[in-house]
Amino acid sequence: MARDRSKEQLAGKPLRPESLMMSYGYKPELSEGALKCPIFQTSTFVFQTAEEGQAFFELAYGLREQSEGEELGLIYSRLNNPDLEILEDRLTLWDDADDAAVFESGMAAITTTLLQFLNPGDVLLHSVPLYGGTEYFIANVLPRFGIHPISFYPTDPEQSLEKALEDPRIPDHLRMIYIETPANPTNVLVDIEQCATIAQQFSTEERPVLLVVDNTFLGPLWQRPLKHGADLVVYSATKFLGGHSDLIAGVVLGKAELMQQVKQFRTFVGNMASPWTGWLLMRSLETLKLRMTSQMKNARYVADFLADHPKVEKVFYLGHLSEEDPQYAIYRKQCLAPGSMISFNIRGGKKEAFRFLNHLKLIKLAVSLGSTESLAEHPATMTHSDVPPEEQRRMGISEKMIRLSIGVEHPEDLIADLEQALQAV
């Protein structure tokens, strides 16, 4: 249950997320005066009286309405735990969400959301490409439950969103639109507002169509899908939110009545994050703005360097979109900055790409992204190796492509590393 943010004011003005992130939702007097929220490494909580235990359960199981000012008491760490509750309150701040739920992985957040809201016979409309795990779950697991996926390619006129909407199953069965923007690894954008309009157009009283956006790539600093009409936002918190390559976690956030359903389902699936993961994420959130700002600035230097390099054929970077590109209008509408993910095509093919990767010294050769250290990988043979070659081509992935996640190192050191690795090609 989310806190009332309107009370967080100073001299009559609301406090900003980065100012609240160190203390929001935590009361030192409940923890021996500890300045920082301790790790509540406990499975269960002691009730002061039997009456209190009864009252807590009545609320938790929805047996009665919450009375004015009443908060859900602590019961059992699968239902609630201070490290998760305080973290969830803080996660609502950047996205201005009613409520948030934390999971032990991004995939747990995504699959729990899909399973909570989709029923047999429903159609799920989704953008391509999606994160590999999401794509697999939608293509291979959901059909076992009678849920029908229909896909669209944001920049391919042959398989556009408009074309997908001509499918005869859409008007009576569309239940969810699921998009990932920018897409991995090409940075292709999907228009959130346009998808929200379509969701509304096909919504009925009995079957509202939900728009769910995976916002992992730009994070809450540079894109806030709820403001553009999304109902729910999902994150792999393993990436920017965690930001130190030392944890796996996921988040769902959005409208209160939907979040209540997500959290109830989570209670029964039992895939909530642990107190330790919650504590690590609270620590990470304190520096989210610092890290993401530094990464974003570094990425601009790196992208400019790559664009001018004779051994680089093409750079895929949001900060380089030209004003004539239809993608530019979407960028201006929904993105606050270009973020820190860059892909580029090296001149040559797989041999040149591998030679480059094998010569990097400071930048590490690893999948994942959004962390303090810079990482490089080869989508065609690594993150997207299970995508058939024909499909890879359609997505714009080739064996020349290298994906970079830019960290907080000194930009000149990053450029020196890229320069020497390109020279080795």
Ligand X SMILES: *Cc1c(COP(=O)(O)O)cnc(C)c1O
Q: Two tokens at 222? A: 């540079």
Is 339 a binding residue for ligand X by CB under 6 A? The answer is no
Q: Which residues lie closer than 8 Å to 338 by C-beta, 6 or more apart?
A: 222, 296, 299, 300, 303, 317, 318, 319, 331
Instruction: Provide the minimum distance between the beta carbon of 83 and ligand X in the complex, in angstroms, as a whole number.
Output: 18
**Binder among 85, 180, 191, 417 for ligand X (CB under 6 A):** 180
Q: Which helix (H) or strand (E) holds 350?
A: helix 350-359
Give yes or no for residue 106 binding ligand X (CB under 6 A): yes
Q: How far is the CB of 109 from ligand X (least distance, A)?
A: 8
Residues written for the chain: 425
CA 173/CA 34 separation, integer angstroms: 52
Q: Which x/- pattern, by CB under 6 A, does the window 249-268 give for ligand X?
A: -x------------------
418 forms bridges with which residues in the sheet? Answer: none
Q: Which stretch of DSSP H or E encloses residue 279?
A: helix 275-285
Q: Give the residue among 295, 375, 372, 390 at the shortest CA–CA distance from 343.
A: 375
Q: Is 239 a binder of ligand X (CB under 6 A)? A: yes
CA gap 379, 367 in Å, rounded? 9
- Nearer residue to ligand X within complex by CB, 218 or 258: 218
For residue 405, what is the enclosing H or E element?
strand 401-405
C-beta closer to ligand X: residue 133 or 348: 133
Nearer to ligand X, 26 or 217 (CB): 217
For residue 204, the number of C-alpha atoms closer than 13 Å in the C-beta half-sphere is 8
Tell me which of 248, 269, 366, 425 binds ligand X, using CB under 6 A.
248
* Sheet order of strands, 364-365 included: 312-316, 341-346, 401-405, 375-377, 364-365
Among 133, 208, 229, 348, binds ligand X (CB under 6 A): 133
Q: Contact, 320 vs 303, CB < 8 A?
A: yes
> Hey, how many other C-beta atoms are within 10 angstroms of the C-beta on 98?
18
314 is catalytic: no
Would you call 311 a catalytic residue per the annotation?
no
Count of residues binding ligand X (CB under 6 A)?
16
Catalytic, 78? Answer yes
Which residues have C-beta within 8 Å of that of residue 345, sequence separation ≥ 6?
A: 312, 313, 314, 398, 400, 401, 402
Q: Does residue 154 interact with ligand X by CB under 6 A?
A: no
Determine if 126 is a binding residue for ligand X (CB under 6 A).
Answer: no
Q: Of the two residues 22 and 248, which places its CB atom closer to ligand X in the complex? A: 248
Examine residue 242 and tell whether it contacts ligand X (CB under 6 A). no
Contact flag: residue 85 with ligand X (CB under 6 A): no
- Catalytic pick among 24, 131, 317, 331: 131
Contact residue for ligand X among 184, 186, 277, 334 (CB under 6 A): 184
Select which of 90, 175, 239, 291 is catalytic.
239
Q: Give the distance, in angstroms, between the CA of residue 66 and the centroid of all CA atoms in the same chain.
A: 31
Contact window for ligand X (CB under 6 A) among 103-111, 140-148, 151-159, 191-199: 103-111
Q: Judge whether 214 counts as a catalytic residue.
A: yes
- CB of residue 4 vs ligand X: minimum separation in angstroms? 30
Catalytic amino acids? 78, 131, 214, 239
Where along the sequence are the contacts to ligand X (CB under 6 A)? 105-107, 131, 133-134, 180, 184, 214, 216-217, 236, 238-239, 248, 250
